[in-house]
Amino acid sequence: MNASELIVSLGNRLGIGELALSPEGTCSVIFDQDEVAFEVNSDRLFLIADIGPATGREDMYNALLRANHLGNGSAFGNLGLDWERDVFCLSKVIEADETEELFENQLALFVKTLRYWKEYLQNGPEAAEQEQASAIQDPARMA
């Protein structure tokens, strides 16, 4: 499926009806309180989400850089800094045609990872680990 078809399929699967990309190739979905923006550029679908404010959080850089290494802690995406807004972000690129199942699996991992880093930023690594363990025990909390 191409990016537009994946977005329409996601809307149907979530029961929110006709989800479609804007003329600019963007849309967003809020999973509980976690907004994920979708943006199409060429044949690529970008998933983008804010983790939280970066102001005064230089203590996070080491953890974020470690998580970026080989994608192990970033849902095989990227953790970064939107320097214009001074916000930590998580992003992921999905290339060209994907199956619906693979897209949904990648999106679920993305949202789970977003929640982990939001918890980490707000309450520290121990709380984030506890939240992640809870999500594994109750998969409905993942997405």
User: CA nearest 60: which of 35, 86, 37, 85?
Assistant: 86
Name residue 125's amino acid.
P
User: CA nearest 117: which of 69, 75, 86?
Assistant: 75
8 A C-beta contact, residue 118 and residue 134: no
**pLDDT in tens for each of the 143 residues of the chain?**
888 899 999 999 999 888 989 999 999 999 999 999 999 998 899 999 999 999 999 999 999 999 999 988 899 999 999 999 999 999 999 987 889 999 999 999 999 999 999 999 998 888 788 776 665 444 444 44
8 A C-beta contact, residue 51 and residue 42: no
- Reported in sequence order, the residue ranges of the chain that DSSP labels E, i.e. its strands, are 26-31, 34-41, 44-53, 78-82, 87-95
Q: For residue 67, what pLDDT is reported?
A: 92
Q: What is the CATH number of the domain that holds 7?
A: 3.30.1460.10
Q: Which domain holds residue 91?
A: 3-141
User: CA nearest 16: which of 8, 4, 24?
Assistant: 8
User: CA nearest 100: which of 92, 111, 108?
Assistant: 108
Instruction: Compute φ and ψ for 96, nearest 5 degrees.
Output: 35, -135
Q: How many structural domains does the chain have?
A: 1
- 37/29 Cα distance (integer angstroms): 7
Q: For residue 127, what pLDDT is reported?
A: 79
Q: For residue 74, what pLDDT is reported?
A: 92
How far is the CA of 77 from the CAs of 28, 68, 89, 104, 118, in angstroms? 18, 8, 11, 15, 16
Q: For residue 120, what pLDDT is reported?
A: 92
Q: For residue 10, what pLDDT is reported?
A: 93
Q: For residue 72, what pLDDT is reported?
A: 84
Q: For residue 133, what pLDDT is reported?
A: 67
